[in-house]
Amino acid sequence: SNKPKIVVLGAGYAGLTTTRRLVKTLSPEQAEIVLVNKHNYHYESTWLHEVAAGTINPNQARVMISDVVNPNRVRLVYDSVVEIKKDEQRVVLENSELSYDYLVVGLGFESNDFGIKGMAENAFAIEDIDSSREISEHIEYQFAKYNNDQNAEDHSLNILVGGAGFTGIELVGELANKVPELCKKYDIDRSKVRIINVEAAPSILPMFDKELVAYAKKSLEDRGVEIKIGAAISECTPEGFVVGDDKELIKAGTIIWTGGVKGSSVLGKSGFELTKGKVNVDGDLRMKGEENVFVIGDCSWVWNKEADRPYPPTAQLAMQEADVVAANLKALISNQPLTDFVFNDKGTVASLGHSDGIGNIFSGYKIQGKSAATMKKVVDNRSLLLLGGPKLVLKKGKFRPF
């Protein structure tokens, strides 16, 4: 047939939202749609710190793609993208190949350790369900073996988290809830366990103002999290982080790096021109100089003209970009003019464990404590609503009271 073929790579916030929008706006006669994803499930990346800490079941954070996308309308391909050959309009997958007329790249993020020596080899990273689930299993195993192992060293119970951005802070917030539970379960005194957060910058959570940062820091420290700011990590060894000018070795049985992310490594392998690991796109979200390739979510570098800097990568941004890409694909197919992306910032909420948090909402209105924790659950449930409708909210939503 001569229907145009749209191929969407990645079923994260960006790719899944694009696909669902396309299904709503294009009839089967107008375009063939193909969605490619590594797994047969979508996961909520913004919940991965909870999976890593073991405070939610991994299954709560994932959804079968065929439950939210009609497989009779969209061809679902569960395979890994290896390389995009844009000059040939082809995508190479691990087990097959695909051609396309229009491409949407939404392959998301990977951990970025900025080349710190030993980090890739010795630290865990939060990247997807598999890597996050392994962290919680590893932590629990340290506790399980402690009383049963004559040679167990005290520091094996320590949990070291590198980076005090969004992910690092949300993770230690969950750990502050989880560690007392593990102590009870495995008959270990809470004082034997250290949760240590190490950050090179002079402050945690650079995206929030001083007042909220101070609140977050106190909340975490009151619950036994040690926060070391202005402490650069020069190396990660199998035993822990080497930190600061005096090269102190902080030892831990669990070492996690959350200090940075970059776009999918497929971008580089495909020979794309990159800015800080991401693809520079035009206002309409097409790759510069390309007619038929859109790049969105954590793979793209989208300029915020007002602020004169790129938008920080968030799920909120990815989902809004997806709406514009779906509309622009429809416009391309029907020879209409494309529209430029405009971000509508609904605010940011960071959790500090299950029942605490901080946030900026409605342009500048600050919240903290239980109201922020409640707002976070509203945001998380709204994400499910957008991705899968009310049924998905009932099935996977967050309703546990404080």
Question: Beta strands 62-64 and 74-78: pairing type?
Answer: unpaired
Q: What does DSSP assign to residue 313?
A: P
Q: Which of residues 251 and 263 has its CB atom nearest to ligand FAD in the complex?
A: 263
CB of 1 to ligand FAD, least distance (A): 26
**Residues engaged in binding ligand FAD (CB under 6 A):** 10-15, 36-39, 42, 45-46, 48-49, 80-81, 106-109, 126, 128, 166-167, 170, 264, 266, 297-298, 313-316, 318
The residues facing 78 across adjacent strands are 37
186 beta partners: none
Q: Give 289's DSSP letter.
A: T
Q: Which is nearer to ligand FAD, 116 or 325 (CB)?
A: 325
DSSP string, 150-163: TT--GGGG-EEEE-
- Least CB distance to ligand FAD at residue 358 (A): 11
Which of the 8 DSSP states describes residue 89?
T
Other beta carbons less than 10 A from residue 190's beta carbon: 11
The residue (of 315 and 325) whose beta carbon lies closer to ligand FAD is 315
Minimum separation from the CB atom of position 52 to ligand FAD (A): 8
Residue 305, burial from CB neighbour count under 10 angstroms (0-12, 13-18, 19+): exposed
Catalytic residue among 32, 44, 50, 170: 170
Lookup: tokens for 270: 């495909």
Please, is 256 exposed, middle or buried when counting C-beta atoms within 10 Å of its C-beta (0-12, 13-18, 19+)?
A: buried
Shortest Cβ distance from residue 199 to ligand FAD (Å)? 16
**Smaller CB distance to ligand FAD: residue 47 or 102?**
47
Rounded to the nearest whole angstrom, what is the least distance from the CB of residue 297 to ligand FAD in the complex? 2
State the burial class of residue 216 (Cβ atoms within 10 Å of its Cβ: 0-12, 13-18, 19+).
Answer: buried
Sign of the C-alpha dihedral, residues 106, 110, 115, 121? negative
Q: Give the pairing type, strands 233-236 and 240-243.
A: antiparallel
Cα separation of 325 and 14, whole Å?
10
Question: Which tokens belong to 27?
Answer: 């009839």
The tokens for 282 are: 């035009």
Reported residue count of the chain is 402
| Residue 233: strand pairing partners | 243
Q: Measure the CA–CA gap between 297 and 72, rounded to whole angstroms.
A: 26
- Taking Cα atoms as reference points, which of 137, 192, 128, 196 lies closest to residue 162? 196
Q: Closest approach of Cβ 193 to ligand FAD, in Å?
A: 22
Pairing of strands 32-37, 5-9: parallel
- In terms of CB distance, is 131 or 292 closer to ligand FAD? 131
Clarify whether 170 is annotated catalytic. yes
Q: Which residue is nearest to ligand FAD (CB)?
A: 12
Nearer to ligand FAD among residue 10 and residue 253 (C-beta): 10
- In the bound complex, what is the minimum distance in angstroms from residue 383's beta carbon to ligand FAD? 9
Q: How far is the CB of 393 from ligand FAD (least distance, A)?
A: 17
Q: Which is nearer to ligand FAD, 32 or 298 (CB)?
A: 298
Nearer of residues 251 and 260 to ligand FAD, judged by Cβ: 260
Residues assigned a catalytic role: 170
